[in-house]
Structure 1
Amino acid sequence: MGKHLGLGAVGVFLLFGCAAHAPAEVRRSSEPAIPSISSSRTTTPSRAEPRSSALTPERAVRFRRVLELRFSPNGSRLACVVSEAKGAAVETHIWMADVRSGDIHPFTDSPKSERAPRWAPDGRSLAFLSSRGGEMQVHVMPADGGEAREITSHEGGVSDFRWAPDGKSMAFIAYEPDANRKPDAPQVADRPQDVPRLWTVDLASKTTRPITRDSLRIDEFDVAGPGHLLAIASEQPKSETWNTAIYDIAMADGTTRLLTRPAPPFSDLLSSPSGTRFATVRTRDRGPIGHDLFVQSASGHEEARNATAKIDRAVRNARWQNDAVVVARVANGFRNTLHRIDLRGASTPIELPHSAAVFDVARDGTIAFAGVDFDRQAEVYVKPTAGPIRQLGHLQEGWDDTPLSSAEVFRFQSFDGRSVEAALMKPPPSAPKSAEKSPLVLLVHGGPNSNFSAMYYWFGAWAQLLAARGYQVLMVNPRGSTGYGEDFMKANRGDWGGGDFKDLLAALDTVLARGEVDPERLGIAGWSYGAEMAQWAIGHTPRFKAAVSGAGVFDQFAEFGTQTDPTTDEWHFGTPWEQPETFLRNSPFAFIRNAKTPTLILHGDADRNNPVGQSKALYRALKRLGVETELVIYPGEPHGPRKVKNQIDILERMVRWFDTHLSSRLASP
């Protein structure tokens, strides 16, 4: 998708806590005196001092997140990718669960990180990517534990890999080694050696050789039986358009055969266990993101079949149980649900007590999933083919004394009669009390083709922190969101700030009609597309008395020419030289002269999705207009903040901004 990060979905924010430090660059205009917020550490309390249950920014980011689950070939073990804070850094490691006993424990514990576990065909060892040597390389470790052995030492690192069916070699994606690819070297655009290629490595000798030519860019791949790979690739790597296709590639000599060219975009290529079929997530027509699971023969001699057409919900990912049965995880409103799809018959929903953040399926049909909710941190569960669901061990630590708020999910009729879904989080009984009516913050998710999910994650921590301080928090999935069918997902094409913004205001009016919220103490906040909607709001209505904009887009013209991947924007708007009026109509800068709302602006200076110049331009405009504003730039941060100190700093500043402008009558917690 490239541009606008979907913060409601499982995304790149692997965010946890440690001590906060100030970012390097902070700019203020018309700055009031702002009270400080303490960021107390979570420590073991003494007998004389009862442990505090208040949720702080530092506590809010200190949790474990399950990113991937992988059953061993016989289903007896489960490799789990778990991300957490260790010291000042976020680390991702592999845990191992014994499915029968329920024991779960760390399997790797290097000073760096590991991810992408892949079982050997015989199940005796586990391969994974690790940065313990600096760059990401493939390592192999015995399934019973021991020392990890580095398999690749490829210059530039490895981004993905697969075992060959005989377990004697692997295929992987990497760049051509190049001594001139240094951070301080001249950056020449579209060099052939900068195209990701397929390589193979022999495990015994560690001999590496290329499989594909450098004119074929490899985006994804999977093994399709002995000697063959399937790949999503492009023969026009310089063209910044949707031009990928699916190819069959011989591992021996790289012979490439075009299989199919589906309507773009498509992703999540997944070969069946025998390699006779493959699945991809794609759209029925075109864009903006993949929506349905299509299955077809690896021979290329049959048409692709939409296996989830009757479900009509956005497919997050899928796993093959066997050649005839595939399990799909779909966004169904605020929950992620699972469906077992028998390609010989109908699909069946799998009943789960919680939303599924990630999952896997064993060959016998046993399901493993990470169960989450608004007020539930991730834990790993197993649903056998017969018998009750069981939790495997206990991942989270130190949260028993910190209750989280749940949320009421409701539907309302928008301005044009369309049914839209939202969630309202209210302060818990322990929160500080306001006057008769509460302040409210409207949070807007990223995307726009994403959604809010019932789960705890970094952006979800915004809601929890605000609720803990006495705010009501409104989270809306307006038109353009996933989880409500492909037509709904496409309903804001070329109309950002139109119907979607009216949906947000209609949700707000629905909540205000209940009479519990003070209409004079309303705030709005978001990241990425959500930030763009916050910028849009301050240029269109005086209703909001404070706004927070994180990594947003202010000028669609400039952003199209400077972002990493413009393809999704082109689907929404066309190109600026062909459709200038559309780009102008969808740019917050065109209406910023109406702004009066105090606005906090946050951005990473290494953001390639929405370059930091977008926030600098917003800051300059608000200063010129005399609007109270503050710009905070985080050095080295990409589109989503990765450094723990910056994650905490953002939460502290967000809460402080709203406390200052909306909650003067709130007592301190």
Structure 2
Amino acid sequence: MPTRFDSLDDYLALPRIEGLALSPDGTRAVLTIATLKKDGTGFDRSLWQVPADGAEGAVRLTRSAKGESAPAFTADGDVLFVSARPDAEAEESDDTAGQLWMLPATGGEARPVTRLAGGVGSIAAVATASARLVIGADLLPSAATLEDDAKLRADRKTHKVAAILHETYPVRYWDHDLGPAEPHLLGVDLEGLSDTLGAVRDEAATDDTGDTAAPTPYPLNLPRPRDLTPAPGRSADAAGVAITPDGATVVAALRVPVGADARYRLVSIDVATGAHTVLFDEPDTDFEAPVVSSDGTRVAFVRSVKPTPAGPTQQELWIAAIDGTDAARLAPAWDRWPTSLTFDSDDAALIVTADQDGRGPIFLVPLDGGEPAQLTHDDFAYSDVRVDRTTGDLVALRSSWMAPAHAVRIARSGGITPLAAPVALPEVPATMVDVEATAPDGARVRGWLMLPPGASAAAPAPLLLWIHGGPLSSWNAWSWRWNPQLAVARGYAVLLPDPALSTGYGLEFIARGWNAWGAAPYTDLMAITDAVVARDDVDESRTAAMGGSFGGYMANWMAGHTDRFDAIVTHASLWALDQFAGTTDLTSYWTSIFTPEAMVENSPHRFVDSIRTPMLVVHGDRDYRVPIGEGLRLWSELNTTFAADDGSTVHRYLYFPDENHWVLKPQHAVVWYETVFAFLAQHVLGGEWVRPDRLG
């Protein structure tokens, strides 16, 4: 029976839940829902409110051309969000700058809370018992005031200046340039928000010629944001921000430059005075992800010693008094890496998510020294976990490879109730089974196998080995961008393995591939592929491998080390590690986890002469994590080595001039999948090469 995954257009049109917030009284959840624009070239985002007990009654809260995201509740139950929607009282509208907006709990129109020239980047933390919150926003380094920032931005815009002068490292991050503005944490007091019968006009000072001699004052009817991190450099690229319930103290993980590298330390900021007090700071150690207890007396956080080529380090859970005293490590024997944490309703434990054996369950970690207890035992990965302080129940999003993110309520008795939503879970074509193998060194290697309808001994399915990125990650949660259901709908069995370096199996499992990406990760992948093709419902004679980022690295490594696959797709892939280390957005990390010798030994480019498998190379020019030079060099060396006298080659190169590491524009995603499936159909299924129409 056909599903929405048989058509790429139908697939893209599926609505997506992207975030969740829970009201202070635990009765309402607000969901961020993305839907495809009418022209199919982007996504609109809106906020929907649903009962948090599972009852019916989803209601749309927002509707604007610019969309809304990042919902959060105030202590009074008002809904905060970020949007670039027009502000009727603003004299000039910047269509790209999102501002903070508030939708009153009592009803009525949403109203702007900020009017910053550079916009608001995020809602960093909201107090639960006062009208204070913290936002993240960028200000130009020469600006002493909000007015200065607006004037400097206007001047750059008028003169069409895009140049950036860098004085520190790094200069890029994933898919965007850093600077010239610097990240700041700004405190906002909503008690300073007032309503007027008409627009407030703030006259600017002028000289005799009529030119503006002073920037326009910040609006008097909006609460003036207070800079909590003046002259930050890049220190306010925070790795977590929390605020006490009374809004008096902010605890932030602030960046400390160390040469070309950096570490994160925990800093307490007095909101009234702006004074900073360092709580935790150690050489070669990061303190991140702070959360404050509901009574405001304690702070929990993650501590991790920086890894070296000798091996990975544990990500440790810690608890301390709000002033940094009485620090103690929690669950020291627990061999998992936290992906999120918050205090339980009674402040006697932490609610923590972590990767675990191909899933992402919720754990309860007691503060009294008790062992972590797993609260969820299904095949899902949980995120956006919120605690209902009135009942102790949890509200969260969960997903797996069989279901995209959807909201649920988790009772302490173990029962799970789906929440109402305007987004129905789609019917998927695959069935999912847990598979595993034994690696050459005796380690257990597991993964998910997605099987198409009708796969059997009489009709075995061709196999697509799909390798995850990271590499410190796990195939445990739904992805709209990398979705194996689309391949299953086209008849492929898809293997999603977690080889060495994957999270959720303990530190020793990660260490097996450390400083040696081409060793255990590769043999793990071969071992589990061997186990899966031994099944009678999988066709060993028709196989392909593909991956992106680290998965692309492994695809390149496989191309030079085995000819068992009929086709290889390599996306955003590392090809020459010595070159990559100096051009990626954060050189210091890569040079800290590899020895120079290992970087050479594990570089796929050294084995180009051994490639026997047709390769599809895919890269975006705005990928700063794995820069375009990797794809260009790979393509150049494939052609130098294998092109025929007439210039033809069995390999292909799909290039996106305006895409980043992931290829996010909807129609580019369509082209990506069309090209990948056409390439696989040619080399795995024995069909003719069919060029996708929109590639001209």
Pairwise TM-score range, normalised by the shorter structure? 0.7 to 0.9
Task: Assess, with a 3 A threshold, how the Cα gap between structure 1 residues 356 and 503 changes in structure 2: closer, same or farther.
Answer: closer
- 3-state SS of paired residue (1:242): strand
- 1:200-211, aligned counterparts within 5 Å? 200-203=187-190, 204=193, 205-211=222-228
Aligned to 2:492: 471
Q: What residue is the counterpart of 2:71 in the other structure? A: 117
Q: Deviations 1:207-263 (Å, cap 9, x if unpaired)?
A: 233222214611132113542111111242x74323221111112232111111266
Paired residue secondary structure (1:336) = coil
Q: Deviations over 1:415-468 (max 9, x none)?
A: 110111122222212x7x998543211110000101101535331x2x222222
- The answer for the alignment partner of 2:167 in structure 1 is 190
Q: Percent identity?
A: 27
Give me the whole-angstrom Cα distance separating, in 2, the residues matched to 1:71 and 1:352. Answer: 23
Distance 1:68 1:267, change over 3 A: farther
1:94 aligns with 2:27: no
Partner of 1:38: none
Q: Comparing 446-455 with 626-635, which one deviates more in the overlay?
A: 626-635
Return 5+ residue gaps in structure 2 as ranges: 87-95, 140-148, 169-178, 194-221, 643-648, 691-696
Decide whether aligned partners of structure 1 residues 264 and 181 sit closer, same or farther in structure 2, where only a CA change above 3 A counts: farther
- State how far apart, in whole Å, the 1-side matches of 2:439 and 2:529 are: 11
**Shift in Å at residue 507 of structure 1?**
0.7
Q: What corresponds to 2:202 in structure 1?
A: none
Residue aligning to 2:586: 565
**How many angstroms does 1:387 deviate by?**
8.4
Task: Give distance in 2, aligned partners of 1:562 and 1:301.
Answer: 42
Q: Distance in 2 between matches of 1:659 and 1:83?
A: 32
The aligned residue for residue 98 of structure 2 is 136
Aligned-partner Cα distance in 1 for 2:296–2:100: 23
Say if 2:200 is the partner of 1:175.
Answer: no
Structure 1 residue 522 and structure 2 residue 543: aligned? yes
**Relative to structure 1, is the Cα distance of residues 556 and 646 closer, same or farther in structure 2, using a 3 angstrom cutoff?**
same
- Greater shift after overlay, 419-428 or 498-507? 419-428
Matched residue SS, 2:360 = strand
Task: String of CA shifts for 1:610-649, please: whole Å, max 9, x gaps.
Answer: 1112111111111112252211122321211221111111
**Distance across 2 between alignment mates of 1:244 and 1:456:** 29
Cα distance, 1:352 vs structure 2: 5.1
Q: Deviations over 1:12-31 (max 9, x none)?
A: xxxxxxxxxxxxxxxxxxxx
d(CA) in 2 for partners of 1:172, 1:165:
15
Give the letter aligned to residue 360 of structure 1.
Answer: R
User: Does residue 1:74 correspond to 2:25, yes or no?
Assistant: yes
Deviation at 1:53, TM superposition (A): 6.4
Structure-2 separation of matches of 1:510 and 1:352 = 26
* 8 A contact 2:352–2:363 mirrored in 1: yes
From the superposition, tell whether residues 265 and 598 of structure 1 become closer, same or farther in structure 2 (CA, over 3 Å): farther
- Which of 523, 529, 548 is the equivalent residue of 1:502? 523
1:406 aligns to what? Answer: 431
Where do residues 369-384 of structure 1 align in structure 2 (5 Å cutoff)? 369-384=396-411
User: Relative to structure 2, which stretch is displaced further, 388-397 or 499-508?
Assistant: 388-397
Give the deviation of 1:397 after TM superposition: 4.4
Describe how 1:16-31 pairs up with structure 2 within 5 A.
none
1:166-204: per-residue Cα shift (whole Å, max 9, x none)?
644432222223427668522211379643122223432
CA distance in structure 2 between the aligned counterparts of 1:490 and 1:159, rounded to whole angstroms: 36
- 1:589 pairs with one of 605, 610, 618: 605
TM-score (norm 2): 0.81
- 1:447 aligned to which of 470, 475, 492: 470
Report deviation, 1:533: 0.6
- In the TM superposition, 1:634-653 aligns within 5 A as 634-653=656-675
Q: Secondary structure of the residue that 1:407 maps to in structure 2? A: strand
1:10 maps to none
Alpha-carbon distance in 1 for matches of 2:421, 2:183 = 39
Cα contact 2:280–2:287 (8 A) shared by 1: no
Deviation at 1:354, TM superposition (A): 4.9
Identify which of 541, 561, 571 aligns with 1:550.
571
Q: Is the 8 A contact 2:436 2:445 kept in 1?
A: yes
Find the counterpart in structure 2 of residue 11 from structure 1: none
Are the equivalent residues in 1 in contact too, given 2:52–2:395 (CA < 8 A)?
no
Q: How does 1:55-74 map to 2 (within 5 A)?
A: 55-74=6-25
Q: Secondary structure at the match of 2:672?
A: helix
Q: Which amino acid aligns with 1:153?
A: R
- The one-letter code sitting in structure 1 at the alignment partner of 2:629 is G
Give 3-state SS (helix, strand or coil) of 2:608's partner.
Answer: helix
Give the corresponding residue for 1:126: 79
Shift of 1:547: 0.8
AA in 2 matched with 1:327 = I
What corresponds to 1:599 in structure 2? 615
Counterpart residue number, 1:163: 126
Match of 2:511 in 1: 490
The residue number in structure 2 matching 1:303 is: 327
Q: Secondary structure at 1:156's aligned position in 2?
A: coil
2-structure distance, mates of 1:665, 1:399: 30
The partner residue of 1:618 within 617, 630, 634 is: 634
Distance 2:408 2:425 in 1: 20
Q: Is the 8 A contact 2:566 2:613 kept in 1?
A: yes
Q: Quick one: structure 1 residues 90 and 381, their matched pair in 2 at CA, closer, same or farther if it must change by over 3 Å?
A: same
Q: Offset of 1:369 from its aligned partner?
A: 2.4
Aligned to 1:27: none
CA contact (8 A) 2:132 2:247 kept: no
SS in 2 for 1:243: strand
Q: Note if contact 1:266-1:290 (Cα within 8 Å) is conserved in structure 2.
A: no
Corresponding position: 1:480 with 2:467: no
Q: Is the 8 A contact 2:681 2:687 kept in 1?
A: no
C-alpha contact (below 8 Å) 1:528/1:551 kept by paired residues: yes
Aligned to 1:367: 394
Aligned equivalent of 2:213 = none
| Matched residue, 2:360 | 336
2:32 and 2:316 map into 1 onto residues whose CA distance is 26
Match of 2:654 in 1: 632
Alignment match, 1:227 = 248
SS in 1 for 2:568: strand
1:357 aligned to 362, 369, 382, which one? 382
Deviations 1:378-423 (A, max 9, x none): 33221234584322224434835xx331221122210110111122
Offset at residue 136 of structure 1 (A): 2.4
**Match of 1:426, as an amino acid?**
L
Measure how far apart 1:97 and its partner are. 1.3
- Residue 257 and residue 549 in structure 1: after superposition, are their counterparts in 2 closer, same or farther (change >3 A)? same
CA distance in 1, matches of 2:668, 2:601: 33
**Bigger Cα displacement from structure 2, 248-257 vs 439-448:** 248-257
Change (3 A) 1:201 1:368: closer
* Distance in 2 separating the partners of 1:360 and 1:166: 17
Paired amino acid for 1:655? F
Q: CA deviation at 1:660?
A: 0.8
Is 565-574 or 147-156 further displaced after alignment? 565-574
Matched AA of 2:225: T
Q: Distance in 2 between matches of 1:136 and 1:77?
A: 25
Residue in structure 2 matched with residue 47 of structure 1 by the alignment: none
Aligned equivalent of 1:418: 443
| Corresponding residue for residue 255 of structure 1 | 275
Q: Check whether the contact 1:98–1:104 (CA below 8 A) recurs between aligned residues.
A: yes
CA distance in 1, matches of 2:129, 2:342: 21
Q: For 1:74, give the aligned amino acid.
A: D
Give the TM-score normalised by structure 1: 0.84
Which has more radius of gyration?
A: 2
1:120 to partner: Cα distance: 0.9
Query: C-alpha separation between the residues in 2 aligned to 1:145 and 1:412?
Result: 57
Q: Distance in 1 between matches of 2:4 and 2:25?
A: 43
Contact 2:76/2:105 (<8 A) preserved: no
Once residues 536 and 242 of structure 1 are traced to their aligned partners in structure 2, the CA distance between those partners, rounded to angstroms, is: 31
Structure showing greater relative contact order (alpha-carbon pairs closer than 8 Å, 6 or more residues apart): 1
